[in-house]
């Protein structure tokens, strides 16, 4: 089918193979470059560049039927030469524009496009690409968010190239236990201070750090190290720079023509016209290019909320409404669904991750059921709630108790990623460590406990670079991270803690196999507002691994804190954030009696009537219509008592299946009590010994140390207590 026709109908998803500049031969066999640009409102178009001394008359392009596309061939044009399009507008002006489909571009502040042959690299990741699983079944996902220009720099503050940084970053991530890197935008952009989120080259990798081939080497290196590559991609808006997309052929083209739809009130940028077929082809082709030609494993789509809403960032007085009186941008919704349908059908291994901050339902739901079709969604509600809680002084944390537990009301509604991203360590918000109240020791202890909460909560994980060693200052895009802080014991100990926590997460399926149902999560302690103590069970999909996760968010220690468990057995301490080697108080260090605990059976209790059991009601996220107090309490109870429903088939006196309480014919249930010694401001993880019955150890083991679950060869064990 005609590629121009598909472009005009919004269905050419590889339009970069038709538009832009690409090497070719003339009809006479002469080498050169073939040019094609979409400029339907132009009176005339020519190509200017190094090959014709920037002469606007020498190399005109010609209209290709009624498609709005102008084409032509220039003999003798060579790779690395600079060029632009000279466009004669409808009102007679002559404007110079960079190629929207350019495959390479000058480094800022220069703005010309550069002729480039994209057939530039021989890949070595064939096995990786062929063995990638479907995007929703990738197993544990522990993402390291990275800004390539400021992760590391030379001493003179010059940046590393893609080829120079690739082996360093791959080795560091492997050692630290991250299995995916999320790159802040790498499409070409003019303003360093935008961090890449104001794109001018949707088909060009930024030349700040090298060529497109160099970036392919970077991705290839990551894949050979077993690391997924996710790229931040920005289809929500673009900057007003005269040389780029804005008013491209003298009139609004890529952007909405109507000013209220076009102008982004928060960022001073322009909004794409999602109702225009050619814009659909342009944007989906950009996504396709990153996933196909550059072998990216996924895209994180920025600012999805602003695509879905007509009034993102608008004051009430300036709001606009759709034909049904709502605020949804139906064209934006249709574009998102088309984008995700296209990628999911053709590249099922590609993750499509939404940075979406509203309560829009079914963001990761199937499109055929009215969902948006993303594979994952950033859980912004979780992030905002826990950071509000954690910055409160310790005596006041009980006031914000539900900020810790509320996320479980909606935790299974989407396939979530739990992010502590770059947005949380800029603009005066302070670093994560800087948000913690109290003295130096309490700040570090509280941050370690926060990380245990993140890694034991259902959902994939994301942390911005530097979070792992707890810098005090906010992120600065114009210099490297404060690696020198690792000279100080507390920061070095924090890095060691994050390394061990990361590997523990990857190695233990109870923390990630069942992230979307109550069978993988159960509250054990959710009501202790006075002491700010929380506890839950996490279970693997086959229920064979059970972890007890305990959090103490106050500086108070507890000699004997009692937890009621739905199952007995022996529980071994496998991770202690208060360990001395992590900078903790060593409260449990020399007390081996509290490293291996046996749950004690409690008197049986009458089971609640079925009518009192919680129902599976749909409760939306915090930003949706208000969740009632009763709905919140109901969801909490469902998390606490999810084991009761699945225990009905067990006979009296039998050994319960993992995660199920014993139930008798008379409707009684059996529970167990576990006495735990709690350090101050700490997270503890216990594993239930597989060789123990509900009554305790069955093979005579008594245990006098830490079970090295998740330990890597050559590294300190999971606990030396």
Using an 8 Å Cβ cutoff, are 199 and 238 in contact?
A: yes
Tokens of 572: 């071994």
Tokens of 11: 């269905």
For residues 645 and 171, the model is more confident at 171
Domain-located, residue 710: no
| Burial degree of 602 (CB within 10 A; 0-12, 13-18, 19+) | middle
Q: Alpha helix (H) ranges present in 485-628?
A: 489-507
Q: Does residue 245 sit in the same domain as residue 356? A: yes
pLDDT tens for each residue of 545-575: 999 999 999 999 999 999 999 999 999 999 9
Least confident of 234-248, 335-349, 660-674: 660-674
Q: Does residue 552 sit in the same domain as residue 503? A: no
| Beta-bridge partners for 573 | 686
Domain-located, residue 442: yes
CA dist 336 and 274 (Å) reads 9
Other C-beta atoms within 10 Å of 606: how many? 9
Which runs of E-coded beta strand occur in 494-598? 521-528, 533-539, 546-552, 558-565, 570-576, 596-598
Domain-located, residue 38: yes
Percent above pLDDT 70 for the chain: 87
Q: Does residue 491 sit in the same domain as residue 522? A: no
Q: Alpha helix (H) ranges present in 294-439?
A: 304-308, 330-346, 380-391, 402-405, 432-435
Please report the pLDDT score of residue 591 as a whole number: 79
Q: What phi and psi values does residue 623 have, to the nearest 5 degrees?
A: -85, -5
> 430: alpha, beta or left, given left = phi > 0 and alpha = psi -120 to 50?
left
CATH number of the domain bearing residue 257: 3.20.20.80
- Helices 489-507, 440-456: axis angle to 10 degrees equals 10
Read off the pLDDT of each residue in 210-219 and give the average, rounded to a whole number: 98
End-to-end CA distance of the chain: 69
Q: Does residue 444 sit in the same domain as residue 562? A: no
Domain-located, residue 596: yes
Q: Does residue 381 sit in the same domain as residue 441? A: yes
Tell me the CA distances in angstroms from 73 to 46, 76, 551, 614, one per residue in order: 11, 10, 67, 70
Question: What's the pLDDT band for 71 if we cut at 50, 70, 90?
Answer: very high
pTM recorded for the entire structure = 0.89
Catalytic: which of 214, 232, 302, 689? Answer: 302
What is the DSSP pairing of strand 416-420 with strand 376-378? parallel
Q: Does residue 107 sit in the same domain as residue 186? A: no
Catalytic: which of 355, 414, 515, 567? Answer: 355
Other C-beta atoms within 10 Å of 246: how many? 19
Instruction: Please give the torsion angle defined by the CA atoms of residues 632, 633, 635 and 641, in that order, rounded to the nearest 10 degrees.
Output: 170
> 80: alpha, beta or left, given left = phi > 0 and alpha = psi -120 to 50?
left
Please report the pLDDT score of residue 617 as a whole number: 30
CA dist 217 and 211 (Å) reads 10
Q: What phi and psi values does residue 24 have, to the nearest 5 degrees?
A: -160, 180
Domain-located, residue 243: yes
Radius of gyration of the chain (CA): 28
Can the peptide bond before residue 109 be classed as cis, meaning omega within 30 degrees of 0?
Answer: yes
Centroid of chain to Cα 251: 36
Q: Which residues contact 569 (CB under 8 A, 6 or more apart)?
A: 598, 599, 672, 688, 689, 692, 693, 694, 695, 696
For residue 609, pLDDT over 50 is answered with no
Tokens of 242: 């005269």
pLDDT tens for each residue of 228-270: 999 999 999 999 999 999 999 999 999 999 999 999 988 999 9
Read off the pLDDT of each residue in 273-277 and give the average, rounded to a whole number: 98
Q: Which of 511, 537, 556 is the last residue of a domain?
A: 511
For residue 281, pLDDT over 60 is answered with yes
Read off the pLDDT of each residue in 594-607 and give the average, rounded to a whole number: 83
Q: Does residue 457 sit in the same domain as residue 527? A: no
Mean residue pLDDT across the chain: 89
Please report the pLDDT score of residue 690 as a whole number: 80
Read off the pLDDT of each residue in 419-436 and give the average, rounded to a whole number: 96
> Given the structure tokens 């080497």, which residue do they identify?
217
Sign of CA dihedral 436, 438, 444, 450: negative
Q: Which helix (H) or strand (E) holds 228?
A: strand 228-233
CA dist 661 and 284 (Å) reads 51
Domain-located, residue 392: yes
Read off the pLDDT of each residue in 582-600 and give the average, rounded to a whole number: 89
Please report the pLDDT score of residue 593 as a whole number: 77
Q: Does residue 85 sit in the same domain as residue 159? A: no
Contacts 24+ apart (CB under 8 A), 201-204: 201/98, 201/102, 201/105, 201/113, 201/244, 202/100, 202/101, 202/282, 202/283, 202/286, 203/16, 203/20, 203/100, 203/101, 203/102, 203/103, 203/285, 203/286, 203/289, 204/102, 204/103, 204/104, 204/105, 204/113
Q: Which residues contact 644 (CB under 8 A, 6 or more apart)?
A: 607, 608, 613, 661, 663, 669
| Beta-bridge partners for 546 | 539
Verify whether residue 355 is a known catalytic residue. Answer: yes
pLDDT tens for each residue of 113-162: 999 999 999 999 999 999 999 999 999 999 999 999 999 999 999 999 99
For residues 236 and 717, the model is more confident at 236
Q: Does residue 505 sit in the same domain as residue 639? A: no
CATH number of the domain bearing residue 609: 2.60.40.1180
DSSP reduced 3-state for 394: helix
Please report the pLDDT score of residue 408 as a whole number: 97
Question: What's the pLDDT band for 618 if we cut at 50, 70, 90?
Answer: very low
Using an 8 Å Cβ cutoff, are 709 and 717 in contact?
A: no
Using an 8 Å Cβ cutoff, are 653 and 535 in contact?
A: no
DSSP conformation class of 361: T
Using an 8 Å Cβ cutoff, are 125 and 223 in contact?
A: yes
Which of 554, 581, 552 minimizes the C-alpha distance to 716? 581
Domain-located, residue 472: yes
Please report the pLDDT score of residue 492 as a whole number: 98
Using an 8 Å Cβ cutoff, are 202 and 286 in contact?
A: yes
For residue 652, pLDDT over 50 is answered with no
> Given the structure tokens 């991203």, which residue do they identify?
421
> Given the structure tokens 């009684």, which residue do they identify?
668
Please report the pLDDT score of residue 45 as a whole number: 98
CATH number of the domain bearing residue 103: 2.60.40.10
Q: Does residue 347 sit in the same domain as residue 474? A: yes
Question: What's the pLDDT band for 635 if we cut at 50, 70, 90?
Answer: low
Instruction: Please give the torsion angle defined by the CA atoms of residues 307, 308, 309 and 314, in that order, rounded to the nearest 10 degrees.
Output: -30
Q: How many domains does the chain have?
A: 3
Domain-located, residue 553: yes
CA dist 9 and 277 (Å) reads 5
What is the DSSP pairing of strand 521-528 with strand 460-464? unpaired
CA dist 153 and 162 (Å) reads 12
DSSP conformation class of 515: -
Contacts 24+ apart (CB under 8 A), 360-363: 360/305, 360/308, 361/413, 361/620, 361/624, 362/414, 363/304, 363/414
Q: Which of 80, 114, 148 is the last residue of a domain?
A: 114
Sheet holding 31-38, edge to edge: 20-25, 31-38, 69-75, 62-63
Q: Does residue 303 sit in the same domain as residue 340? A: yes
Q: Which of 97-111, 302-316, 618-632, 678-692 has the highest mean pLDDT?
A: 97-111
For residue 404, pLDDT over 80 is answered with yes
The parent domain of residue 104 ranges over: 3-114
Read off the pLDDT of each residue in 61-89 and give the average, rounded to a whole number: 97
> Given the structure tokens 């997924």, which residue do they identify?
228
Read off the pLDDT of each residue in 46-56 and give the average, rounded to a whole number: 97
Q: Does residue 148 sit in the same domain as residue 211? A: yes
DSSP reduced 3-state for 452: helix
Centroid of chain to Cα 502: 16
């Amino acid at each position: 089918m005609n590629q121009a026709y598909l472009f005009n109908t919004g269905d050419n998803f590889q339009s970069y193979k038709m538009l832009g500049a690409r090497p070719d031969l003339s009809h006479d066999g002469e080498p050169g470059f073939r040019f094609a640009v979409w400029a339907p409102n132009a009176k005339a178009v020519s190509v200017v560049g190094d090959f014709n001394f920037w002469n606007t008359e020498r190399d005109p392009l010609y209209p290709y039927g009624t498609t709005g596309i102008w084409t032509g061939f220039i003999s003798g044009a060579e790779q690395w030469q600079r060029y632009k399009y000279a466009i004669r507008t409808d009102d007679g002006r002559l404007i110079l524009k960079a190629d929207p489909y350019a495959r390479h571009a000058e480094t800022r502040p220069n703005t010309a496009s550069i002729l480039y042959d994209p057939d530039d690299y021989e890949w070595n990741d064939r096995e990786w690409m062929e063995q990638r699983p479907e995007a929703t079944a990738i197993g544990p996902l522990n993402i390291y968010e990275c800004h390539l220009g400021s992760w590391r720099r030379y001493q003179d503050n010059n940046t590393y190239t893609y080829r120079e940084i690739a082996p360093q970053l791959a080795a560091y991530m492997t050692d630290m236990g991250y299995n995916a890197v999320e790159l802040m935008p790498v499409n070409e952009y003019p303003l360093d201070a935008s961090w890449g989120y104001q794109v001018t080259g949707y088909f060009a990798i930024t030349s700040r750090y090298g060529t497109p081939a160099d970036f392919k080497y970077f991705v290839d290196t990551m894949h050979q190290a077993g690391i997924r590559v996710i790229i931040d991609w920005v289809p929500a808006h673009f900057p007003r720079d005269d040389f780029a997309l804005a008013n491209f052929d003298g009139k609004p083209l890529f952007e909405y023509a109507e000013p209220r739809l076009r102008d982004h009130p928060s960022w001073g940028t322009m909004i794409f016209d999602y109702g225009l077929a050619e814009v659909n082809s342009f944007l989906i082709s950009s996504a396709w290019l990153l996933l196909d030609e550059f072998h990216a494993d996924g895209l994180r789509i920025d600012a999805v909320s602003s695509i879905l809403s007509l009034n993102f960032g608008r004051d009430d007085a300036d709001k606009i409404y759709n034909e049904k009186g709502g605020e949804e941008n139906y064209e934006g919704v249709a574009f998102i669904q088309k984008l995700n349908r296209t990628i999911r059908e053709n590249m099922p291994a590609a993750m499509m991750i939404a940075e979406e901050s509203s309560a829009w339902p079914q963001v990761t739901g199937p499109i055929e059921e009215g969902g948006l079709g993303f594979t994952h969604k950033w859980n912004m509600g979780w992030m905002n709630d826990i950071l509000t809680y954690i910055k409160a002084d310790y005596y006041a944390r009980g006031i914000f108790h539900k900020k810790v537990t509320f996320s479980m009301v909606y935790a299974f509604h989407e396939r979530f990623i739990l992010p502590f991203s770059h947005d949380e360590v800029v603009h005066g918000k302070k670093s994560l460590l800087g948000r913690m109240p109290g003295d130096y020791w309490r700040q570090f202890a509280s941050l370690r406990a926060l990380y245990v909460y993140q890694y034991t909560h259902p959902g994939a994980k994301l942390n911005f670079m530097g979070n792992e060693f707890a810098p005090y200052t906010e992120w600065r895009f114009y210099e490297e991270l404060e690696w020198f802080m690792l000279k100080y014991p507390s920061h070095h100990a924090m890095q060691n803690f994050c390394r061990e926590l990361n590997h523990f997460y990857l190695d233990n399926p109870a923390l990630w196999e069942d992230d979307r149902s109550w069978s993988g999560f159960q509250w054990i302690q959710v009501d202790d507002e006075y002491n700010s103590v929380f506890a839950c069970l996490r279970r693997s999909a086959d229920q064979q691994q059970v972890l007890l996760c305990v959090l103490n968010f106050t500086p108070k220690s507890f000699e004997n804190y009692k937890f009621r468990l739905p199952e007995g057995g022996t529980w071994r301490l496998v991770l202690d954030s208060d360990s001395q080697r992590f900078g903790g108080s060593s409260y449990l260090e020399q007390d081996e009696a509290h490293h291996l605990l046996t749950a004690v059976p409690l008197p049986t209790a009458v089971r609640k009537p079925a009518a009192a059991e919680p129902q599976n009601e749909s409760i939306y996220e915090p930003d949706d219509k208000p969740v009632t107090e009763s709905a919140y309490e109901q969801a909490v109870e469902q998390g606490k008592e999810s084991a009761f429903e699945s225990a009905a088939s067990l006979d009296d006196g039998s050994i319960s299946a993992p995660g199920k309480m014993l139930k008798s014919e008379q409707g009684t249930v059996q529970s167990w009590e576990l006495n735990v010694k709690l350090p101050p401001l700490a997270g503890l993880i216990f594993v239930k010994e597989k060789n123990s019955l509900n009554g305790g150890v069955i093979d005579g083991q008594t245990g006098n140390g830490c079970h090295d679950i998740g330990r890597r060869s050559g590294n300190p064990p999971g606990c030396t207590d």
